[in-house]
Amino acid sequence: MSNSKGFLFLTIGFTALAAGGCGPADEPEGEAAVPTPQASAVAEADTTGAAIWAHLQQSDYRSTWTLWPGKGELYTGAEPHGMLLTTYLNDVALRALNSGASVMPAGAIIVKENYMPDRTLAAITTMFKVRGYNPDVNDWFFTKHLPSGELDRAPTGMALEGRLPGCTNCHRAMQTNDWVFTGQLGGGN
């Protein structure tokens, strides 16, 4: 799907919210209701790496999103993500984290920039919570982009977007923390 279609889906999401098509009653049980335009717009976006990349660029995540509290830029990481990391949260994910939610709501996006030891950006990995997308991993959609915006590829040639076995198998170790490694949900950053 082209970037323009990704933007179209985001625009439709904003329009639906303005018309009253989304609200707290739409949230699944156990998830914090976060009725924001960004939550609705992203939840309406298609689940493709191209659409995620387009959204990240359009929202200028580096300038407008928040760093994971207490982490800062270029904190020490580990493989497979890189030796230095910077993690950003959209407003949906930040509100959930700050409110002490034990799971992220639909529309939450966590972006992890993966750096080599010399501080060269190697990849941008994203977790996007999409209601009903993949219940086996609490509805997370994963992507791994190269700095150019192109999707990275597995050695088999598979584009790294969606239901990625490498991501889900690793993140399974944190399923009691909504599959998130960066910090403790439920009030303990």
Average pLDDT over residues 127-152: 95
Task: Assign 184 a pLDDT band (cuts: 50, 70, 90).
Answer: confident
Q: Which CATH architecture has domain 3-177?
A: 3-Layer(bba) Sandwich (3.50)
> How is the chain split into domains, by residue range?
3-177
Q: Would you give the distance in Å from CA 164 to the centre of its chain?
A: 14
Model confidence, pTM: 0.76
Q: Which of 154, 134, 135, 136 is nearest to 144 (CA)?
A: 154
The residue with greater pLDDT, 144 or 80, is 144
